[in-house]
Structure 1
Amino acid sequence: MTAATAPVVAAAPRFRTGAGRLCLDFLRTLRYRGTLDAIEELPDSAALLAWVVQCGPCGPCDPPDSQPVSDDPAQVRDAHSLREAVYELVTIGHSVGGVASSSFLVRELVNRAAKNPTPIPRVDASGALLWTASDVVSATLSLVARDAIDLVTSSAVNRVRECADESCSALFSDNSRPGNRRWCSMETCGNRAKKSSLRSRSAGH
């Protein structure tokens, strides 16, 4: 992306995290997937860059919260395609055939994204760790693709769950010891379910 007159990063929405894997957090940018209420949280380049800044290692742009970005519809479309390919790989990982039964095009799309250079670590004059990239979007999406490949080619894919809240259905990695986590977030979906259960019990008395 090159600087131009366009939306600024500060205007973009805040994104949900906490799925347990970078690639699963990326999947959550299509909220309420598969329903009539589906919300695209990455509609343009500004939103995509905002997700990268919030969720990736490169951190805020310089100057903070004021970096103008050019609109790059092709890069946004590529990000959407990567997200859907990752979603297919992760969900099919639970099937009988596993990831091997996924389509060649889906695997290659993720593989191509993983080939891109990733953010580079460096230490600054204060001794702090910083991450840089010539293209922070491409570099962060490369991390997403590599994380997805690591996930679906390991036993960790068996820990991926779908949120039990039917209005959410977001995927998350169940890293709890018993492996019986039901909600992607106890603060939102879990609390909503508890309140619904309490109302039902109250109505029954």
Structure 2
Amino acid sequence: MILRSHTGAKYRFDPGALCLELTTTGGPGEFRRFEVLHTPADLAAWVARSRLSPTPDLDIRQVEVEAARTFRDALFRAATARASGVEPQRGDLDVINRTAGHPPLTPAIGPDGQRTWTATATGTQLLATVARDAVDLLTGEYAHRIRVCSGERCHLVYVDTSRPGRRRWCSMEHCGNQHKVRALRERRDEKG
């Protein structure tokens, strides 16, 4: 995904899981100020940027956008709890499970051999697909590798799929680079 920092700089961010891509659209509490899911078109635009490409034909209703925000907030809290070594709240897991309980998008192989989707899908099917990915992440082999970026003002959530399992930053070109620049300045100031 291509994200934009608070300064306007663009950078690449790979959260390592489809479900965590949704957490870049806003969040609960203090993260509400970053909300971008207001209309069905906003949710469709997120899908177009996600790893669900090619984008399925979607028929999204406003109530499904509201459900997307509720699910996203529950996922954000559950993932950050897991990153902190704490068990997620039962209510958040209930939201994730309820969302995952609906029929998902149905993939197919197109005439060109590429993935496509069988029919126009609802927002509920879209959310079920993302929620099933969340269930797989939160219960799978990488559940212990869910992390929150170590950047000073960054709260992006990702799953560390690196072989050594030592990823600290949402993006080396953004938060990792900022950390290196700060550390270099501190070393120069100590010598100066």
TM-score of the superposition, structure 2-length normalised? Answer: 0.78
**Retained in 2: the 8 A contact 1:16–1:28?**
no
Aligned to 1:29: 25
Task: Point out where structure 1 has 5 or more consecutive residues left out of the alignment.
Answer: 1-13
Whether 2:74 is the aligned partner of 1:40: answer no
Aligned equivalents of 1:43, 1:156: Cα separation in 2: 31
Match of 2:17, as an amino acid? R
Structure 2 counterpart of 1:85: 74
2:68 equivalent to 1:75: no
Q: Aligned-residue CA RMSD in angstroms? A: 3.0
Q: How big is the shift at 1:144?
A: 1.4
2:83–2:147 CA contact under 8 A, matched in 1:
no
* Equivalent-residue separation in structure 2 for 1:149 and 1:15 (angstroms): 28
Determine the C-alpha separation between the residues in 1 that align with 2:25 and 2:159. 16
Structure 2 residue aligned with 1:49: 44
Residues 75-107 of structure 1 show CA distances to partners (whole Å, capped at 9, x for unaligned) of 2211110011112222333567634xx22x322
Which residue matches 1:174? Answer: 160
Separation (CA, whole Å) in 2 of partners of 1:157 and 1:60: 27
Which ranges of structure 2 fall in alignment gaps of 5 or more residues?
1-9
> Aligned-pair distance for 1:155?
4.1
Aligned counterpart, 2:176: 190
Change (3 A) 1:38 1:164: farther
Alpha-carbon distance between aligned partners in 2 of 1:48 and 1:171, rounded to the nearest angstrom:
19
Q: Is the 8 A contact 2:109 2:115 kept in 1?
A: yes
Identical positions, percent: 35
Structure 2 contact 149–156 (Cα < 8 Å) conserved: yes
TM-score after normalising by structure 1: 0.74
Q: Distance in 2 between matches of 1:17 and 1:96?
A: 23
Report the counterpart of residue 144 of structure 2 in structure 1. Answer: 158
Aligned residues: 182
Flag the 1:141–1:194 CA change in 2: closer, same or farther, 3 A.
Answer: same
Q: Is the 8 A contact 1:58 1:132 kept in 2?
A: no
CA distance in 2, matches of 1:42, 1:48: 6
Which residue identity lines up with residue 42 of structure 1 in the other structure?
L
Contact 1:52–1:137, Cα closer than 8 Å, also in 2: no
CA gap of 1:137–1:16, structure 2 versus 1, over 3 A, is: farther
